[in-house]
Chain A
Amino acid sequence: MAGGDLFSIGTSGLLAFQRSLNTISHNIANVNTKGYSKQSVDLATRPPQATGYGFAGNGVETVTIRRSYDAFVESSLRSSTSATAEFESFHALASQLDNVLANTDTGMNSSLQRYFNAVQDVADTPSSPAARQVLFNEGQQLATQFNELADWIEGVRGQVNSEIRSGVDEVNQISAAIAELNQAIVIEQGRAGHPPNDLLDQRDTLIKDMSELVSVTTLQQDDGSVNVLVGTGQVLVRGNTATPLTVVQEAGDPNQLGVAVQGNAGVLVPVTSQLSGGRLGGVINFREQMLDPSSNSLGLVAIGMGNFVNEQHQRGMDLNGVLGLDVFSVAQPQVLTVAGTPGNVSVALDDVSQLTNSDYKLRFNAGTWELTNKLTGQNVAMTGTGTAVDPFIAEGMSIEISAAPANGDTYLLRPTRNGAMDMQMVLANSRQIAAAAPVRSAAASANTGTGVITAGSVSDINNAVFQATPGQLSPPLLVRFTTGTSYDIYDNTNAASPVLLEAGIAYDPATGAELFPTPGGLDHGYRMQLTGAPLAGDEFNSEYNTGGIGDNRNALLLAGLATDKLMYGGSASITDTYNGLVADVGTGTKQAEINSLAQKRILEQTQAIRESISGVNLDEEAANLIRYQQAYQAAAQVISTANSLFDTLLNAVRR
């Protein structure tokens, strides 16, 4: 019947437009809701009625309420969110190092420079107590500055650790929430047969929040749930079950936190190195690529400084007339046990000039020990056999294995990590500064030739000549020319009757001669050059530098350490090594900044695309509001018309 159809069609329009208006209101209400996808009502014609004259339309019906959503854009958004968060957190931490290392107040440059300047001042006035006290104070100040900077860097490591702790907490909370939503979505979708749009949006938002913490992959399941995986396939959420991440100590180091996931049978599987992206990936990368190398480099500078200053200082003589002592304490390498028995491996510094700023992995595999440089990832060749007598030697370290290893035993070696942290000045007072050399020479007054002898420098302070009796050479020497081209060397302990040690050493006035080593193989651990043309009977002698408080030869050599190429196999000075650290951190920070800006642009672009698909535009909603309001009014008019038609019919019959 036509009248009934009209009511029915009108009502179908009213219902459909009301639904549409409700959805528009829902959109408007959620214009500022994070992760909300614009919804729209899909309308379709109702099944028509077949009549003898063809199909008569039956009005409109609501098919479904659809959210504007693009799975591909959503997953791009996740990955660029991960990448942006990763570079931003890397950059935030890196710029802290960047700002501090080159700063004149906090960096090492000015302390190193002031120390060497103070050494020069002592060289100017070696017996002046004031100059010595300044150098003594600068030494203490230098050690303190190393300690403080190392402490500060460890503070940044603390930030990394707390980022890992809070990041893992947040990931676990989000995993649990996603698992709950999975359950709700499966139930709702099963019950209604339509996707629960708002729940889906909420879940997408949670997954995006998680991407900000760590890069994830998702697997859409048929029942509507989504599985979430991290790293190389470790499951965080499967259906309505969440598997929490756990914070663990790496290699038993409380300062080095890592992340593990619950594996089969409750075994914790470490996944730190598999995590990428997000804030977690960023801080872990930062620690591996910038913090550890920086901390090691600073340690390397401190160890280089301590080691070479000590070596040179030991070759000197202090104001008390005794041989120089150690100036600084030098930290020994750190060994951490990853797998195996702690204490089976011990590592000592062998050759500081060969040390690098890397950590090393020492692993026993298939019957041999393998050493891997963690920065380059390359295996490093070792000489020696690893015994106490013949230790493994590689990259400046000497490694001793004290017990039989098992296959898979793994140790983490950190040769320079504690260098700056543990540096101390160990000299007791400023009189102990060894500005003088312990040996001096003299030409006899009665010499008639033009021969001269240099003051001398120490080549090996451990030679028995210096060590046998403190405060003297054992023995002092007398050099006597027998002709203009030949000389004898005597033990001059008793100057009244020198004892011949080696006779007939050839001398060429054109080239001069180095006193040691002699043709007969004598070497007293110091070097003196004879030059000029001595005549027969001319004498030269060497003796301990007793009373030589005005001598500055050793101070000059100490000052020279500022520019001597002592590090990295003779390619860099101590200060070069520090400058290299500043350059590395500066470059790394700059790179992180560039990456972070680039990723931010990509993220903004992806967000714009996502918003163009899923975002709510109020002008659009306003227009739709008018459109459906008018349609609603028209449908109401249809009901009214149907009503008046019905009235007309009734009135006609009533008569």
Chain B
Amino acid sequence: MRISTSWIFQQGVNAMLDQQTTLAKTQQQLATGKRILAPSDDPSASTRVLELDQLIDTSKQYQRNSDYAETRLRLEETVLTDVGDILQRIRELAVRANNDTLSAGDRMAIAVEVRTNLDGLLQLSNSKDATGEYLFSGYKTGTQAFSDNGAGNYSYDGDQGERSLQIGPTRQVSVGDSGDNVFMKVDNGAGGIGSMFEALYDFAVDLEANAPSATTLTRLDSAIDEVLNTRASIGARLNTIDSQRSMNDSFDLLLQENRSTLEDLDYAEAVSRFERQLLALQASQQSFVKIEGLSLFNYL
């Protein structure tokens, strides 16, 4: 085919422009380390990357939630351990108080210790977390959970709500126990239920009257059981959080790998492509100069 002089020129220029465009793109890929620079480079992969980003971000949020849930449950566990220690100490005192050899004065001394521990128990039951929320008042975290209304009457002013946190796509874990369940459902020794505080209060009153009651141990054992049950349940929930966390971790890793496969640049491939494109550009520059120098007029 006949070729016009301006077309020879134009073709040479077009070739160089095209090669510069591809070279610039490869250079940008190398600079960013990303295979996909805009969604149009690979529409389906880039949408997938967006979805993966969201999943990765969400799983990070689940880890945050898990961390928070664990902190809160560990705090509750610590408080309940202290509560358990107090109850154990009271139980020891109850066993000792039943000893017939004790004098009224001895029992009075024990009663003093019981009352001190009762104050401690009440304080523990009104524990707050780091953000100032009452641990045991259900949803009413701004309301003090338990009040001493005098004369052995204790009221629970929270509710039965138990806050759950989302720690996985389909898993929620309860991060609290309402004080009603933990402190208020102790066998009262008379076929009904009452509070732990009443059990301790009654015990102290009995001691002060030098008349230990046979039901005290039953009531204390029931209280200890309540605390142990709650702690067992907290332990189970902490295990759940642990296993969910490792699931989240491995899921996160999988997502990151997926994302990297889709989006990240294969440097070895890209560098060799870059070299190839560079060579092609140099070749077309050199051939352009040579061809442009050719003219019959040079020989006239």
Binding site for B on A (CB under 8 A): 31-32, 38, 94-95, 98-99, 101-102, 109, 113, 116-117, 120-121, 123-128, 436, 440-443, 445-446, 455, 545-552, 556, 559, 562-563, 575, 579-580, 582-583, 585-587, 589-590, 593, 604, 607-609, 611-620, 622-623, 625-626
State how many angstroms separate the Cβ of B134 from the closest Cβ of chain A: 8
Q: List 12 A-B contacts (CB under 8 A).
A: A98-B38, A98-B39, A109-B50, A117-B57, A117-B61, A441-B160, A546-B140, A547-B139, A548-B140, A556-B172, A586-B40, A612-B3
Chain B residues within an 8 Å CB radius of A32: 6
Report whether A589 and B39 are in contact in the complex, using a CB–CB cutoff of 8 Å. Answer: yes
State how many angstroms separate the Cβ of A526 from the closest Cβ of chain B: 14
Report whether A121 and B39 are in contact in the complex, using a CB–CB cutoff of 8 Å. Answer: no
Report whether B161 and A548 are in contact in the complex, using a CB–CB cutoff of 8 Å. Answer: yes
How far, in whole Å, are A513 and B44 apart by their CA atoms in the complex?
46
Report whether B166 and A123 are in contact in the complex, using a CB–CB cutoff of 8 Å. Answer: yes
How far, in whole Å, are A622 and B299 apart by their CA atoms in the complex?
10
A101, A123, A562, A612: which contacts B39 (Cβ < 8 A)? A101
A98-B39, A124-B64, A623-B296 known; A550 vs B133 contact (CB < 8 Å): yes
Chain B residues within an 8 Å CB radius of A120: 61, 64-65, 166
New A-B contacts (4) at CB < 8 Å, excluding given A31-B5, A32-B6, A626-B300: A38-B4, A441-B160, A445-B185, A559-B166
A120-B64, A582-B50 known; A587 vs B5 contact (CB < 8 Å): no
> B126-155: which have CB < 8 Å to A?
131, 133-134, 137-143
Chain A residues within an 8 Å CB radius of B2: 612-613, 615, 617, 620
Chain B residues within an 8 Å CB radius of A548: 138-140, 159, 161
Report whether A102 and B38 are in contact in the complex, using a CB–CB cutoff of 8 Å. Answer: yes
A98-B39, A622-B297 known; A607 vs B160 contact (CB < 8 Å): no
State how many angstroms separate the Cβ of B133 from the closest Cβ of chain A: 5
Chain A residues within an 8 Å CB radius of B163: 126, 550-552
Question: Which residue from chain B places its CB closest to the CB of A626 in the assembled complex?
Answer: B300
What string of 1s and 0s marks CB contacts (under 8 Å) between B156-181 and chain A?
00011111111001001000100010
Q: Is B68 located at the chain interface by the 8 A CB criterion?
A: yes
State how many angstroms separate the Cβ of A506 from the closest Cβ of chain B: 25
Report whether B39 and A551 are in contact in the complex, using a CB–CB cutoff of 8 Å. Answer: no
Report whether A545 and B65 are in contact in the complex, using a CB–CB cutoff of 8 Å. Answer: no
Chain B residues within an 8 Å CB radius of A549: 139-142
Question: Which residue from chain B places its CB closest to the CB of A120 in the assembled complex?
Answer: B61
State how many angstroms separate the Cβ of A433 from the closest Cβ of chain B: 15
Chain A residues within an 8 Å CB radius of B297: 618, 622
Chain A residues within an 8 Å CB radius of B6: 31-32, 611, 615-616
Report whether B39 and A550 are in contact in the complex, using a CB–CB cutoff of 8 Å. Answer: no
Report whether A575 and B54 are in contact in the complex, using a CB–CB cutoff of 8 Å. Answer: yes
Question: Which residue from chain B places its CB closest to the CB of A607 in the assembled complex?
Answer: B7
Report whether B192 and A121 are in contact in the complex, using a CB–CB cutoff of 8 Å. Answer: no
The 6 closest A-B pairs by CB, nearest first: A615-B4, A550-B141, A586-B39, A586-B43, A548-B139, A589-B40
Chain B residues within an 8 Å CB radius of A625: 300
Q: Is B1 located at the chain interface by the 8 A CB criterion?
A: yes
B14, B38, B51, B180: which contacts A604 (Cβ < 8 A)? B14
Chain A residues within an 8 Å CB radius of B169: 563
How far, in whole Å, are A605 and B105 apart by their CA atoms in the complex?
115
Report whether B139 and A550 are in contact in the complex, using a CB–CB cutoff of 8 Å. Answer: yes
Chain A residues within an 8 Å CB radius of B44: 583
Chain A residues within an 8 Å CB radius of B230: none
Report whether B39 and A585 are in contact in the complex, using a CB–CB cutoff of 8 Å. Answer: yes
State how many angstroms separate the Cβ of A74 from the closest Cβ of chain B: 15
Report whether A583 and B40 are in contact in the complex, using a CB–CB cutoff of 8 Å. Answer: no
Chain A residues within an 8 Å CB radius of B11: 608
A31-B5, A101-B39 known; A445 vs B161 contact (CB < 8 Å): no
